[in-house]
Chains A and B, each alone.
Chain A
Amino acid sequence: MGPLLAHALRHTVVALTAGVAATQVPPPVDAGEFAQRRATHWAWQPLRDDAPPTAGQPATGHPVDAFVDHALAAAALRRAPPAPPHVQLRRLWFDLVGLPPPPDAVARFTADPSDAAWEREVDALLASAHYAERQARHWLDLVRYAETLGHEYDFEVPNAWRYRDYVIRAFRDDVPFDQFVREHVAGDLLTPPRLDDGGANESVQATAAYWFCEQTHSPVDAGKHEADRVDNQVDVLGKAFLGLTIACARCHDHKFDAIRAADYYAFAGFVQSSRYAQAPLRPADVQGAPFQRALTAQRELAAAWQDALAPIEPPPPPPPPRDGDRVVASAEDLAAGWILTNDGFGPQPWHGPLCLDPTATAPELRQLPGAFWHSAVAGRQREGTLASPTFPLTARYVHVRAAGQHARIKVIVDGFHLVRDPIYGELHKEVGNPDAHWLTFDCGAWANRPAFVQAIDQRTHDLADPKRERKSWPDDGWLAVQSVVLSPHREPPPAAAAPPVPPHAWTEPPTAVAAALGRLHEACAAVPVSPTLPAMVDGTGRDLAVAQRGDHRRPGEPAPRRFLQALAREGALATGPGSGRLQLAEAMTAEGAPLLARVLLNRLWRQLFDRGIARSVDNLGALGDPPTHPALLDWLAADFLRHGWSVKRALRQLVTSATYRQDSRRRAAAEAIDPANLLLHRQNVQRLDAESVRDALLAISGRLDPTLFGPPVELPRETIVKARGQPDRHGPLDGDGRRSIYLAVRRNFLPAMLLAFDLPTPFATVGMRNVSNVPAQALTLANDPFVHQQCATWANALLAAGVASGADADVRLTAQVDAAFVRAFARPPAADEVALCRDFLATGGASAWPDLLHGLVQAQEFLYLR
């Protein structure tokens, strides 16, 4: 061992010291160089799709084995014999569902380890919802999933967890992967969207993945903040799906790949032409009957009211515009390009009298002067956001004419949504006046920056809501917006007031009014309110310029939005007025299909064999590792595309191979030829990942709560680290027995136990986690109260089952030791191990059983998959 380690370390040193010093900006890549890179690098080429080779050793008839055996034979190697059945089964369970096999599965498969029984086991696992949880956790690493924004205050991303549930459902339902990709790129724009059985829009939920970027509060330069955020969004898009480091081309043409700076800014243009929003899962159809009935009921109420009192005078026409004022958007002008999210503001601006709350003790009819986008047309419980198009701040003041209560209006500069003090407090105003009034924003500090006005009638769902300390807004918020005016004048423009609705003197409304109020209330209540989640919506489409040296203050040549030049068809994409992400999604899943398939299959391979066919799973570019089995990777990718982009089918194909099921034990002769096991002459030993360690402890103790989905689960408050943004919520030591994928993911307060086992910090795509080997892991398993708790729970269950069996003490003890080993290691103990246990129990005193079980989970066989 010594010399081998010495050798390896010496080479480590060389590798550590051999990095290239990249102190200079590389020169632009000319057409010849670009074509050369495009033509010579494997990942840009069409899929080879060779037939599986026939030469090789004992043919299994499985295409995966045909490729692997062929390469082994060329090196005069043979595949290892199959692993013992219990080893295969434990490997399969952790790989596919992330849990240990239960005793009945162990008994079943060890009694009949036939191929048919294996396939039954595989199919059952792929059909289980736990498979989807497992696969989803891998996916969440790729999109740096987190439920907070990190940095100083670790603000929450409201409802981020719905994305996690979306991913689980998508894998459970085996949504074709190209559809999954389209939804991630442009799920908000797909027509029709994919709906779940309950009619909720699944597609839009994928776009939440754009918003797991970190965000700072109060950046001094919002433009730089936006450029950095978009960099991260493009980076994740590039790595997670395409396995390319597109973001490397932010400052200059890629140093090694056929990716130009123009490619980066083309991608950045798609993102920067889009906006953050809380989007509804089940938006009410504002043209549909229930919503229209509410609007009709409003008009009927107004008519009945006026019949009972007197006609209400219509508002006077607006005064002529003032010099210098520019109307950016007005409710009088439907072509103004307003961007609406959710259904709160109805199908069109409202004009005329309106009742905010038909169930109030003294219902009122109110009238605003002219046309307003109004969030209470179908009741105050409706929510939504209304935004203007993007415009440059060419004048100092932005005046917004509005009315409302418990609502707010923000000016979003440079796409910066965390609008609050310090610096940005001026760009955020509460609306707390039910009469039409002007809100004036002094934007002098942001001259000429791109901006838009966002009007928000939502209770709790704004990003980093400055009022979050209030926990929630009251349910009675509403908001009406008439116009956005850009102006050099501090004073707001002149405006007409609405004639008042004549006061009434009734104590009880007249019958006709009462009946109309009742109908309005019923109609409003019949329009369902949707939950929301963070999503992407289209903003004002615009191409970016290539920023020189990546500096957003130094724009250069324009970079029209399009797919990667190395893969795209000729010419720009026809993007239309919006962001163009829909067209990007189509190009990625058409021209980009071979690359998408290679990247995905390589990731699936990595899950099952510990190493990708190309080891650098997040980078198939020139700096990545070349594939060890290129023909196999291409065949798998082509087969995947031939069979409807089915992830389940692809996994099934891999785990039914003899290559997957082979033994991991070393054979000296084979090690000498293939010491790194690049040819897969045996399986690789894998350490359980962080979630599997915790989930396995819950599973073997019997505490696991298999409930799927839902809001994040809290653990006890972190005691070692106290810092800003620390949540006041906390939960029990065992997290209610829920699987780790449901634990709250706060960037600044990740669960210590999972961190010890290499849970990644969510900041970039991580397709291959670190597998560290540190004393903190041993300390966790030895001393963490959670581990002790689970061993005690397990001991109680084991002893209770023993008593219930009614067997005599000795028989019972043997059965209990047997059961403990099966739970921990998926196998019964060997004779010498039974003797060890008997000895331990005989001298262990009152805590002998929990101690024994705690000893089992500290044995490496618990932590490693052979």
Chain B
Amino acid sequence: MNANHIMSPTRRTFLQRAWNGFATLPLASLFGGGGAQTRHHAPRARSVIFLYMDGGPSGQDLLDYKPRLVADHGKPFPLPMEPTQFNDNGNTLGPCAKFAQRGASGQWISDLLPHLAGQADRLCVVRSMVADFSEHTNANYFLHTGHGLQGRPGIGAWIAYGLGCEASNLPAYVVLNGGLIPPGGVDCFHSGFLPAHSQGSVFQLRGDAVANIAPCERDPQQQRRKLRFGRALDEAARRRDGADAAIDAAVANAELAFRMQAAVPELTALDGESAALRAMYGCDDEYEQTRTFARQCLLARRLVERGVRFVQLTCADTRNDRWDQHGDLPKGLADNCRMVDRPIAALLADLDARGLLDDTIVLWGGEFGRTPFMQGDSGRDHNPFGFSMWVAGGGFKAGHSHGATDEYGYKAVLDPVTVHDLHATILWQLGIDHERFTYRFGGRDLRLTDVYGKVQKALLA
């Protein structure tokens, strides 16, 4: 038996029963801040914002410029085709927008993303992503958890578990729900076998942001009286029965919960942000979905500002079935780009202006890409064999393109990056070695990256 595998029951009991939730924070702060002790090396980044493009956006129309695809539009697709989700495959389909080189770095970005084009020099575009699954749900679980089935912790949960939160009154992992929960449900954000404190807290944009955050009592004094009464009973019990770490932590959590009742509304009130800034994000855009996504982006900045470790944005509903354009590709893409383009560009600029971009990893992308050939008469089917994502900030190379797909943008052929590689690289920037970051469940030391993944140093500045 390898002694390295064994956490003594003392330590594990302690982990399960006391080292939990926001309780981490005061405890971790005993060491002088933010749970940094779980890091394996000096971190380059502090937080992650994941702009999650549910459905699988089309690289061929947005980021992956292929002259051959333009030239061969409408001709029979010349390469062997893999089975697809609908197996209704047609001819080569050229991009539905013009591409141009942008910024000093000359990165190719299509006209569908004019605002993002203005930020080209901040982006590290990975044009050679590969994933293991062609089905949304498996692919979503895979993108989030490194595993194609339900029930494993997502990358946000792993990071929350490993690093805790720097905010004293907010959870470490927040999902800003634009309206679309991805196929696979909230299990994409779940803590799986990790302790529950590490799971993503889904914040709503309308009504109360957090479940049960609003007191039922009309008079705040009424709630305070009850809590005081309960605490008095707790103190009596402690005098009678002595201290117990779990019960003490529960008392601390009750007090944190009480503080969250004030902190969450303060977070979501955007009155303090200038009108000019809100306009830059698109908070008063005429398109409702842009306004929603702008609010999410602005909240994301406020969250990382407050020390939240991992923020994920889900898309608003443009009524085009997410980024899943099996048909009507030009309209779906136009609407979706309109929703995210201005807010994302503003987020990057705003983070940079506040000095936050340097230690915040901003990740953009979906669970797979799309086929360079037509599905039906106006769509693209799922394609996990080669697709594009981009990363900005957090020590990733700026104004850089990595890897390449073939001349049709179908499969990654140069420097492919797997989802596991991406996970490993993000963890690395946060100071975590993915191979040494494990949790014992069901008799195995499990990792976010399973037995795979390689830190992609080529992406890093």
Could you tell me which A residues sit within 8 Å of B by CB distance? 1-2, 5-6, 8-13, 15-23, 150-152, 154, 214, 216-221, 228, 232, 239, 245, 248, 256, 422-423, 445, 611, 615-616, 618-619, 621-625, 664-666, 675-676, 678, 685, 687, 720-725, 747-749, 752, 755-756, 758, 761-765, 770-780, 782-785, 788, 830, 832-833, 836, 840, 844, 847, 851-852, 854-856, 858-861, 863-864, 866
Contact = CB atoms under 8 A, between A and B. Distances in A.
B253 A773 contact: yes
B30 interface: yes
B247 A860 contact: yes
22 contacts: A5-B30, A12-B7, A12-B15, A12-B19, A22-B451, A218-B85, A219-B135, A245-B442, A256-B1, A622-B1, A623-B1, A624-B443, A678-B9, A770-B16, A773-B21, A773-B246, A777-B253, A783-B216, A785-B216, A832-B236, A855-B233, A859-B237
B246 A6 contact: no
Contacts of B15: 12
B195 A772 contact: yes
B138 interface: yes
A239 B442 contact: yes
B18 A773 contact: yes
B85 A2 contact: no
Contacts of A854: 226
A858 B222 contact: no
B20 A17 contact: no
A618 B441 CA distance: 9
A566 B372 CA distance: 52
Contact of A618 (B12, B190, B442, B445): B442
B436 A749 contact: no
Contacts of B87: 422-423, 445
Contacts of A20: 2, 4-5, 438, 445
B184 interface: yes
Contacts of B38: 12-13, 16-17
A110 B445 CA distance: 47
Contacts of B30: 2, 5-6, 9
B136 A860 contact: no
Contacts of A748: 184-187
Nearest to B134: A220
B327 to A, nearest CB: 13
Interface string B423-442: 00000000001011111001
B378 interface: no
B447 interface: yes
A220 B84 contact: yes
Nearest to A783: B212
Contact of B19 (A9, A720, A851): A9
B258 to A, nearest CB: 8
Given A18-B438, A216-B135, A774-B20, 8 more contacts: A16-B437, A151-B150, A685-B247, A723-B182, A761-B150, A773-B20, A832-B236, A859-B237
Interface residues of B, number: 113
B124 interface: no
B4 A18 contact: yes
Given A12-B19, A775-B260, A779-B212, A836 B150 contact: no
Given A723-B185, A773-B20, A676 B10 contact: yes
A772 B212 contact: no
B14 A782 contact: no
A151 B137 contact: yes
Contacts of A782: 212, 215, 223, 226-227, 254, 257-258
Interface stretch (B114-122, B196-204, B397-405): B196-204
A772 B27 contact: no
Interface of A is mostly: loop
B244 interface: yes
A419 to B, nearest CB: 15
B437 A856 contact: no
Given A721-B186, A851-B226, A855-B226, A665 B233 contact: no
A619 B442 contact: yes
B229 A855 contact: yes
A228 B148 CA distance: 10
A783 B11 CA distance: 33
B233 A833 contact: yes
B443 A152 contact: no
B192 interface: yes
B202 to A, nearest CB: 6
The 3 closest A-B pairs by CB, nearest first: A19-B438, A763-B151, A619-B443
B419 to A, nearest CB: 16
Contacts of A758: 196
Nearest to A762: B151
A864 B179 CA distance: 37
A8 B11 contact: yes
Given A9-B31, A152-B183, A788-B216, A778 B445 contact: no
Nearest to A620: B443
A8 B230 contact: no
A672 to B, nearest CB: 13
B20 A19 contact: no
B442 A423 contact: no
A721 B2 contact: no
B171 to A, nearest CB: 8
Contacts of B195: 770, 772
Contact of B246 (A151, A685, A855): A685
Interface in B1-45: 1-2, 4-23, 27-28, 30-31, 37-38, 40
A150 B149 CA distance: 10
